[in-house]
Amino acid sequence: MKKLNEKSKQTSVIGVVPMAGLAKRLGNLGCSKEIYPVESAKGGTEGSKPKVVCEHVLEKMQRAGIDKIYIILRDGKWDIPACLGDGSKQGLNLAYLMMGLPHGTPYSIEQAYPFIQDSIVVLGFPDMIFAEEDIYTRLVSHLELVDADVALGIFPADRPEKTDMVDMADDGSVRRLVIKPTHTDLRYCWGVVAWTPVFTHFMHNYLASHQNIAATQPELFVGNVIQAGIESGLSVYGVTVSEQPFLDIGTPEDLERLSSYINKRK
């Protein structure tokens, strides 16, 4: 498979996967949501382990040539590093960071700031499943192609109220994001994203200001920060990466859809 292009490699590309959520909507799974088993072990040999949900996004990053990934945890989710280890079995270099302020995913990502501030960042959500293999390669390449600060991976939306809907111009530039709308005429959402150091520094400065009011505000989403970037003049583009919606196993209903979703994509 084609890896990240040579010019992109001049700036390191680092993966960030936040795993600090509480998963309250799923009840008691017996493990952290991110390591919920989603597929039987290949071959079914004794001692083999089933694939867990977060391995899907980690594998997609690894196949794009991204081997350095920061995982952000919260206290008590020690079953995640116990399951994934140092990543060497998957050909990855995994490092674990602890969540700081509990005000939303951007604050979890901020824990990686000292390590990623001069790199291209690809973000993956650990409870998301999608079939396409080259998504991260395409996103990083698009940053260079259109000289963007942020490249959003665009999917059809089957549940707009659970996603960030994207309003794009014909050239792919993103005019606005609509965060988890109750009603919308928009058809597409973003599910994965790559960004340059320009956006990393923008988010760092945005959070420095936002944290003064964060405790009195609703949970902050990554989409909120991207929308703030659009309003501040950052260059944000969308890249259609799939003709099928992704699956996010954030609710019991989505867990029930899991088997049929995976079987359709094998």
In a domain, 17, yes or no: yes
In a domain, 14, yes or no: yes
Please compute the mean of the pLDDT values over residues 110-121 and round it to a whole number: 97
In a domain, 89, yes or no: yes
pLDDT in tens, 43-91: 444 445 778 899 999 999 999 999 999 999 999 999 999 999 999 988 9
pLDDT in tens, 90-112: 899 999 999 988 899 999 999 99
Cβ–Cβ < 8 Å for 28, 248? no
pLDDT in tens, 138-184: 999 999 999 999 999 999 999 999 999 999 999 999 999 999 999 99
What pLDDT, on the 0 to 100 scale, is given for residue 262?
A: 56
* CATH assignment at residue 150: 3.90.550.10
Quote the mean pLDDT of the chain.
88
Between CA 116 and CA 261, with CA 130 as vertex, the angle to 5 degrees is 150
Residue of 159, 144, 187 lying closest to 248 (CA atoms) = 159
Q: How far apart are CA 109 and CA 103, in angstroms?
A: 11
Q: Is 190 helix (H, G, I), strand (E, B) or coil?
A: strand
pTM, full prediction: 0.88
pLDDT in tens, 220-231: 999 999 999 999
Q: Is 258 left (phi over 0), alpha (psi -120 to 50) or beta?
A: alpha
In a domain, 1, yes or no: no
Give the pairing type, strands 51-52 and 174-179. Answer: unpaired
Tokens of 33: 């949501």
Domain range enclosing 76: 9-264
Tokens of 220: 């902050």
Report how many domains make up the chain.
1
